[in-house]
Chain A
Amino acid sequence: MSKLTLTTEGDTHVVVTRRFAAPPEAVYRAHTDPQLIQKWLLGPEGWTMPVCINEAKPGGKFRYEWTNGTGRGFYITGELLELKPYRRIVHVERMHLPDPTPDNHVETRFDADGAGTLMTMRMTLPDAQTRAAMLSTGMEHGMEASYVRLEGMI
């Protein structure tokens, strides 16, 4: 199974791709069904997601709250803009640390790839500075999918 790729695109985008053995229907459901999301979208070891709300409809809201069990925690809120079943999800989100970060506009595509799925998540930040801040601090708080690949660039 080919693994994760992380690249930056232009000044404001971050693109993540990952292949899965399951068909797009299943991968899409795992991204929209709160009971499934709660099982995997957890970040580093030791974190859990006690609150997982996802209305899974265009215009719907979602809210994910994480804790590491020692009093540290944070949450993400967002709105779903487009949902094309099994193919595509477009949403905006921001982290609350507790002050909200600038909106991250995210398009997630699920393309059939043989018997499996190629997922492509394309994030758009408002500007280069916000992307830089996200890349340097995002994972400190556990979760934000924010990456860049330096190989080839340096």
Chain B
Amino acid sequence: MQILDTAFSALADPTRRAILARLAQGEATVMELAEPFEITQPAISQHLKVLEDAGLIVRRVEGTRRPRRLARAGIEAMDQWLAMLRKALDKNYDRLDEVLAAMEPHRKGETR
């Protein structure tokens, strides 16, 4: 649960969400990731560290480059968790469908 908490906290920041959206299209270096933003490379590196600690991205060593990509396991763990939340909510509303179907139709002109 702790890692999920960290992952959701990591997602609370719009820059980090944008970084993830970029990485969803494929691997990228810090420089490439910093390009679309009006912030410094160290600031981007700080965001990358948060995402890495949250298990959402991983880095690869390639000579002097350290390209980042999405961490499949971390992303899938979040997806699964959200699917579970969604299922529990779905269950509530499926029950509500049944409650509504069993309710007396509201009489015309009744204002209560």
Contact = CB atoms under 8 A, between A and B. Distances in A.
B89 interface: yes
Contacts of B14: 11
Contacts of B88: 43-44, 139, 142-143
A128 B15 CA distance: 13
A114 B107 CA distance: 18
Contacts of B21: 153-154
Contact of B12 (A29, A39, A131): A131
Interface stretch (B28-36, B41-49, B79-87): B79-87
B96 interface: yes
A139 B97 contact: no
A6 B92 CA distance: 14
**Residues of B in contact with A, size category:** 35 or more
Contacts of B79: 150
B12 A132 contact: yes
Contacts of A1: 97
A147 B14 CA distance: 17
**Residues of A in contact with B, size category:** 35 or more
B100 interface: yes
A43 B11 CA distance: 25
A42 B92 contact: yes
A4 B86 contact: yes
B1 A20 contact: no
B17 interface: yes
Interface in B79-112: 79, 81-82, 84-86, 88-93, 95-101, 103, 105-106
A136 B89 contact: no
A99 interface: no
B68 to A, nearest CB: 14
B5 A132 contact: yes
Interface string A1-39: 101101000010000101011110111011000001001
B101 A132 contact: no
B86 A147 contact: yes
B103 A6 contact: no
Given A137-B5, A154-B75, 4 more contacts: A3-B90, A6-B89, A18-B93, A136-B8
Interface of B: 1, 4-5, 7-9, 11-14, 17, 20-21, 24, 70, 75, 78-79, 81-82, 84-86, 88-93, 95-101, 103, 105-106
In the A-B complex, list the 7 residue pairs whose CB atoms are closest, starting with the nearest: A128-B12, A22-B100, A40-B95, A132-B8, A40-B96, A132-B9, A136-B5
